[in-house]
Structure 1
Amino acid sequence: MSTTRNWIQWSAAAAVLLALGLGLFLRNPNREGGVRLEGEVQNFSGERFDLARFRGQPVVVNAWATWCGPCRRELPMLLEQAKAHREIRFVFLNQGEGPEAVRAYLEEARLDMPEAYFDPNSGVIQRWGAQGLPTTYFFDAAGKLVAKHVGELNKEQLLGYLSLL
């Protein structure tokens, strides 16, 4: 009788795990065609718009925050590469902070960030399946996700991703 009960328990556990795995697969935003360059953000002035307006050229979206150490370390290199690769639009998408906090940080760090945007509730990157900060997304000119990097980028990694665009 205990052999039957063990078999039933194992079968039930396997069914639950299969259902969970299938559920995660079906809701995975990174599946083919799932992540697109779109979502409402705002600029320093508070103007709201959809990221889809940037379609038509390759776009790099860097999700970051001023309190994030790895974000702070990679930011100067990303800004430098944005100036060096003007054919690619770099969008710096702050997560959960306001313009005042970002402006104060940029002044303190002496950084010039011409493409600073805000995702106040992190809704855009949650839909894109972000797993932490920093996360950098690489979109082709049609707005389709080509690559995603979770964690701090170094220059060689960034250049490798840019070559895909």
Structure 2
Amino acid sequence: MVLVVVAAVGAAALREPAPTSFSASGAPRRMPEAGTFPNVGEQDFEGILVGLRGKPVVVNVWASWCAPCRTEMPLLQRAADTYGDRVVVLGVASKDDPAAAQGFLDDFGLTYPNVFDSTGRIRVALQVSAYPTTYVFDRRGALVSTVKGGVSEQRLAALIEGTLR
């Protein structure tokens, strides 16, 4: 009986709709420098997204304990390298230990910016229910796609290309 209830709750969580209307607001904030790993609150995160309007943005929410996140990091770096200044890739470490998250970043030598969500408010605002989760925003800052779980390199490229048209 307990297994049936757990399975039903798990299935319902997987069907939970991804946010379709997340919209950053507030004063624009500067993007963190690559190589830094600042602790950023929800308002600062939204301000970063507001400041990036005019460019498509890929936000990837990850954690060091997440095996699929480890698989995704190299493809996100390749996307950042491939699209250069035309697209912004921004990582958000959440539900993690700061030292473990920093070690994870160091292991991959990432050059795209990453921030740390110590309060969990970014995770809540984005309605993260799976790790990793990738959000793609268009040039206007509108959320156009959410991928729960790992994203393939081909799917990520197709989502990014869709925002560049």
Specify if TM > 0.5.
yes
Paired letter, 1:74: E
Q: State whether residues 95 and 122 of structure 1, in contact with CA within 8 Å, keep that contact through their aligned partners in structure 2.
A: yes
Measured on the aligned residues, the alpha-carbon RMSD in Å equals 2.8
Q: CA deviation at 1:47?
A: 6.4
Corresponding position of 2:105: 106
| 1:94 aligned onto 2:93 | yes
User: Which residues in structure 2 correspond to 1:115-134 (within 5 Å)?
Assistant: 115-134=113-132
| 1:36 aligned onto 2:32 | no
Q: CA deviation at 1:75?
A: 0.7
Corresponding position of 1:63: 61
Moved over 4 A (4+): 38-43, 45-48
After TM superposition, the score normalised by the length of structure 1 is 0.70
Alpha-carbon separation, structure 2, partners of 1:100 and 1:121: 15
Alpha-carbon separation, structure 2, partners of 1:100 and 1:147: 30
Alpha-carbon separation, structure 2, partners of 1:98 and 1:116: 14
Stretches of structure 2 lacking an aligned partner (at least 5 in a row): 1-15
Structure 1 or 2: larger strand share?
1
Stretches of structure 1 lacking an aligned partner (at least 5 in a row): 1-24
Aligned length: 136
| 1:149 aligned onto 2:142 | no
Q: CA deviation at 1:137?
A: 0.3
SS at the partner of 1:147?
strand
Identity %: 26
